[in-house]
Structure 1
Amino acid sequence: MLTSKERSFLRSLANTLDPIFQVGKEGVHEDNLKEISDALEARELIKISVLKNCLMDAREACHEICDAIGADPVQVIGSKFVIYRKSKEKSKIELPKAKKRRDA
């Protein structure tokens, strides 16, 4: 689960990304999930678009994909969404650390 600070940092990185996958009329299926999982392992942060002829909206598709492959949703805007999953082998993105609270 991402904190709001981490999510904000990832949103700023995703601004320049182009969608590399599309969810179409058939929705999300096993082949898509495998490709998305492989892309997340390589890139950690990806943007996906949902086509107009898809029966589910972007939020539904985002949650279905994230639940199936163990990713974290970062942002859903219109017909596009961004997801993140830390790479198991070669992590590229260093998330900001939470500041420790000082109790006086």
Structure 2
Amino acid sequence: MELRGKQKSYLRSKAHHLTPIFQIGKGGLNEQIVRQVGEALEKRELIKINLLQNTDETVEIVATEMEQELNCLVVQIIGRVLVLYKPSSQEKYRRISTTIPR
């Protein structure tokens, strides 16, 4: 799944007003966090993740790991904040994926 420039721009504008719902701290990235992020993506389609100052993880490593584990897309990285997108597999949760420009 690839996004074109217009689509990424649209998703960035939608994510601008979101607050990060996950924080990765000194415990680092583990299986439980990845599973919870996957569940949140299924219901929200677009989320932000914040990496705290006390984590040993880098934003690039977390982004790569999330893309591989969850088959999602990293829309944007700003500082220590990631924006992730994955279209929901359930029809009732598809809000953002139905409005993305073609």
Q: Please, what TM-score do these two structures have when normalized by structure 1? A: 0.88
Runs of 4+ in 1 over 6 A off after TM superposition: none
Structure 2: 5+ residue runs without aligned partners?
none
Deviations 1:70-94 (A, max 9, x none): 1000000011110000000121112
Tell me which residue corresponds to 2:95. Answer: 92
Cα distance, 1:14 vs. partner?
A: 0.4
Deviations 1:56-80 (A, max 9, x none): 2222212211211110000000111
Q: How many equivalent residue pairs? A: 97
Q: Which amino acid aligns with 1:84?
A: Y
**Preserved contact between residue 58 and residue 81 of structure 1 (Cα < 8 Å):** yes
Q: Which 10-residue stretch deviates more, 21-30 or 36-45? A: 21-30
Cα distance, 1:26 vs. partner?
A: 2.4
**Which protein has the larger Cα radius of gyration, Structure 1 or Structure 2?**
1
Q: Please, what TM-score do these two structures have when normalized by structure 2? A: 0.90
